[in-house]
């Protein structure tokens, strides 16, 4: 018959902080120091080797004790997801923080509230993504570059100079010398503003796209 084990998990936000206070608290709660796993990383980072190792070791009937539930994830949604996954595996999560008992009626109420918070957070994230996408589309419509490397050569002044020289019959190479721009930049400006000029392709046009 497999004997259940009590594990502990602690985390501090930076390497400058000390884990000893959390170790002492878990030890006082009856957790063997050998069964305490830890991470010294920011909660915003995805990689948590200590917690990942612990989650791979716990089995049905085991328990994980933490000082507070926020130690288990980056966000309310992540904490809830971790707890839900552990419960499905038959692992109990215990918190030493007052009001965070996850067992019994109180725990059921807390899980319900956390689910609401998680859903709210998910909706907020979805709205932020949609707003950012709409803002990028609006900027692109106005002619602003919204992705890739900034095209510093495509200023209004440079565009005006390139088009003016082109109207007077200068070749792309001549325009590049007169403006100090690369031939590729001249080609891009012309293809974006004039009909009949193919878009610049470095594989096709190279460093000297066109001589005429």
- Closest CA relative to residue 207, chosen from 180, 186, 190: 186
> Which residues are catalytically annotated?
13
Distance CA 115, CA 122 (A): 10
E strand map for the chain: 6-12, 36-40, 63-66, 92-95
Distance CA 171, CA 197 (A): 12
For residue 89, how far is the Cα from the chain centroid? 28
Tell me the helix, strand and coil percentages in the chain, rounded to 5. 50, 10, 40
d(C-alpha 140, C-alpha 56), whole Å: 46
DSSP-based three-state secondary structure for 24? helix
153, burial (CB in 10 Å: exposed 0-12, middle 13-18, buried 19+): middle
The tokens describing 31, both together, are 């957790």
Which letter, b or e, does each residue of 156-176 get, where b requires 16 or more Cβ atoms within 10 Å of its Cβ? eebeebbeebbeeebebebbb
């Amino acid at each position: 018959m497999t004997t259940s084990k009590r594990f502990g998990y602690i985390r501090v936000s930076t390497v400058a902080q000390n884990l000893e206070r959390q170790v002492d608290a878990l030890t006082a709660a009856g957790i063997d120091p050998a069964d305490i796993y830890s991470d010294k990383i920011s909660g915003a980072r995805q990689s948590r080797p200590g917690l990942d190792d612990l989650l791979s070791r716990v089995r049905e009937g085991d328990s994980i004790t933490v000082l507070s539930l926020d130690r288990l994830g980056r966000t309310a949604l992540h904490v809830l997801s971790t707890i839900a996954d552990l419960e499905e595996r038959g692992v109990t999560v215990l918190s030493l923080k007052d009001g965070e008992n996850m067992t019994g009626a109180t725990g059921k109420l807390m899980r319900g509230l956390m689910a609401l918070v998680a859903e709210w957070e998910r909706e907020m994230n979805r709205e932020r993504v949609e707003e950012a996408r709409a803002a990028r589309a609006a900027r692109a419509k106005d002619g602003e570059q919204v992705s890739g490397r900034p095209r510093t050569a495509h200023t209004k002044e440079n565009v005006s100079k390139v088009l003016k020289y082109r109207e007077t019959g200068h070749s792309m190479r001549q325009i590049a010398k007169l403006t100090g721009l690369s031939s590729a930049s001249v080609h891009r400006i012309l293809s974006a503003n004039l009909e009949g000029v193919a878009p610049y392709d470095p594989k096709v046009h190279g460093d000297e796209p066109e001589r005429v």
